[in-house]
A and B are shown apart, each in its own frame.
Chain A
Amino acid sequence: MNSEPLLDQLIEALRCLPGVGPKSAQRMALHLLERNREGGKHLSTMLDAAMERIGRCRVCRNLTEEEICLICGNEKRDKSLLCIVETPSDVMAIEQATGYQGRYFVLMGRLSPLDGIGPEELGLEDLAEQLNNNPPREMIIATNPTVEGEATAYYLQRMAQKQGVAVSRISHGVPLGGELEFTDQSTIAHAFSSRQAVEN
């Protein structure tokens, strides 16, 4: 390109964001430079601070700027419930959608032998240690309903059972507002086989 080197570098740098191609990167860069320099400066300080300071919680491995995250550090939360999720965004999803008051453990991935991710790569011995030293009353497995998520769930289930911890798995089935007619066969089959008794 024949344009300014620093501008080029900025455009190139913005492309590290997901879903941002050369065109949108250029638009973003020009927008900040032409119309919102304040915002750009703020963004750069925030980015710098966040990249420097945000790390992993020592207990649940979620993203946090402290040594122990706000959820793990919150004394009011129920320590007898432990929910296992794949990613930090799953924690956010559950926090926003439910009134869950227990703690989490973030796997940062899932078991996927073909991607070279086994129990060791996921650091499951950390979890085993927690289950051993500090066993919860119930472990809720909230991995995704994919093949890898199921494999992970089964592995976790066996880990927990070895320690005598009760295990539950979040249910999956027909989405709210969905219609059976347009739901795929496997989901219907699953929803049907894991139907619940209606309590009066």
Chain B
Amino acid sequence: MFTSLEPSYILHSRPYRESSLLLEVFGKAQGRVGLVARGARGPRSRWKSILQPFRPLLLSWTRRGEMGTLTGADQVASPPALAGDPLFCGLYANELLMHFLHRSDPHPGLFDHYSRLVTDLAAGSPTQPLLRLFEFQLLRAAGFGLQLDHEHGGREGIRADAWYVYLPESGPVRRDATSGQAEELVSGAALLELKSGEIGEQHLMELKMLMRKLIRFYMGGKTLKSQFLFLQS
């Protein structure tokens, strides 16, 4: 099977044999794909500087079975490289994608979200709202979308002035603000912001706790290594 000039990002690469690379690629129409880039680490490789994460690329490859072979790589644009905290955030997003996406499972919508995330991170937008939104979109694409239309077990819509505990796999359950599960409580306003995609400064902490809990739940207790990058500050 031949794939030509597919808009893609590289999620991860590692050395393979003498001078090749094993790439994990997120392609728009193909989803996550494993590719071998032959000779990419060699002294005369044209690909060496192009095959880096967080760059919009057009990749071509042939594939039979699980792994494909890279046949062409072009850089579309040269966005400012991620550095500092945005770089850590990008690595975190890549680790999430590697964990939640299966190979050859296309997610064109999520690809666009990821592309926007990388562009916004590079442009220096505040990282936290971007990450929350991306986590929300990623969970939805992976089939673990949040249920934010109504309360769990009822028809009543979510009220901005009420407090909830979000149960994974079920939905928001209304609680008293004084019910003693303070760290798990999330305000209706925060949930509504998440749903609308416009996350304000005020609810960032609640949403961070919520998403952390859900991601931990769906990862089955595994931890993400990139979280340790942030611990120091």
Contact = CB atoms under 8 A, between A and B. Distances in A.
Nearest to A20: B18
Contacts of A111: 229
A3 B50 CA distance: 47
A167 B233 CA distance: 17
Interface in A138-169: 146-147, 150-151, 154-155, 158-159, 162
B225 A147 contact: no
B49 A114 contact: no
B55 interface: yes
B75 A185 contact: yes
A151 B87 contact: yes
A158 B88 CA distance: 13
Interface stretch (A32-40, A68-76, A85-93, A116-124): A116-124
B232 A158 contact: yes
Contact of A114 (B11, B54, B85, B88): B11
B95 interface: yes
A18 to B, nearest CB: 7
Interface centre among A115, A185, A186 (most CB of B within 10 A): A186
B92 interface: yes
Interface in A1-45: 18-19
Interface string B111-131: 000000000000000000000
Given A119-B232, A158-B233, A187 B49 contact: yes
Contact of A115 (B14, B81, B83): B14
B205 to A, nearest CB: 22
A49 interface: no
A185 B54 CA distance: 14
Contact of B95 (A114, A150, A154, A162): A114
Contacts of B162: none
A99 B102 CA distance: 50
Given A114-B94, A158-B233, A187-B49, A150 B18 contact: no
Interface of B: 11-12, 14, 18, 24, 49-50, 52-55, 75, 78, 80-85, 87-88, 91-92, 94-95, 98, 224-226, 228-229, 231-233
Interface of A: 18-19, 111, 113-120, 146-147, 150-151, 154-155, 158-159, 162, 184-187, 189-190
